[in-house]
C-alpha cells in the first residue's frame, strides 16, 4: 500500500476498474479537506439536452470519533461496552471468589 498523502484541498480520481453494475461509480478517489480524508465516487451522466457531466458523492473515510466522556468502564486489554458493565463486574467478582478458594492455604494437598 502506498504511503502517498494528498495535500490539503487536493485529491485524485481514478477510473474504477472493478465496476460491474451501473450503480457502481465510474471513478473513485480520495480528497483531503480540513485535515479529514474523504472518499470520492463519480458517475458519468448526461443532461436532458445531451450535455455530459459527472455526478459526485463524497463520504468520510476516517472513523467518526464518538463522545466517550460520560462512559465509565474498566479496560482489561479490550474495550468493554458500557451497557455490559454490570455483567463484567459480576464475572470479575465471581473470578475473584474462585481464585480465593483455590489459593486457600487450608487445602490439605
Q: Where are the domains of the chain?
A: 11-60, 72-104
pLDDT in tens, 57-94: 999 885 555 555 555 555 555 555 566 677 777 777 77
| Torsion angle defined by CA atoms of residues 65, 70, 75 and 78, in that order, rounded to the nearest 10 degrees | -30
CA angle 1, 79, 76 (to 5 degrees): 115
Q: What are phi and psi of 10, to 5 degrees?
A: -130, 160
pLDDT in tens, 2-28: 678 888 899 999 999 999 999 999 999
DSSP H or E run through 28: strand 27-33
Report yes or no on whether pTM surpasses 0.75: no
- Where on the phi/psi map is residue 64: left (φ > 0), alpha (ψ -120 to 50), or beta? beta
Amino acid at each position: 500500500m502506498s504511503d502517498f498523502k494528498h495535500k490539503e484541498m487536493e485529491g485524485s480520481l481514478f477510473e474504477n476498474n472493478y465496476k460491474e453494475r451501473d450503480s457502481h461509480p465510474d471513478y473513485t478517489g480520495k480528497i483531503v479537506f480540513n485535515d479529514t480524508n474523504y472518499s470520492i465516487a463519480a458517475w458519468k451522466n448526461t443532461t436532458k439536452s445531451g450535455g455530459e457531466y459527472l455526478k459526485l458523492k463524497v463520504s468520510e473515510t476516517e472513523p467518526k470519533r464518538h463522545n466517550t466522556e460520560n462512559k465509565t468502564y474498566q479496560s482489561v486489554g479490550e474495550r468493554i461496552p458500557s451497557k455490559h458493565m454490570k455483567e463484567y463486574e459480576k464475572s470479575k467478582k465471581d473470578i475473584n471468589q474462585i481464585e480465593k478458594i483455590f489459593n486457600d492455604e487450608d487445602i490439605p494437598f
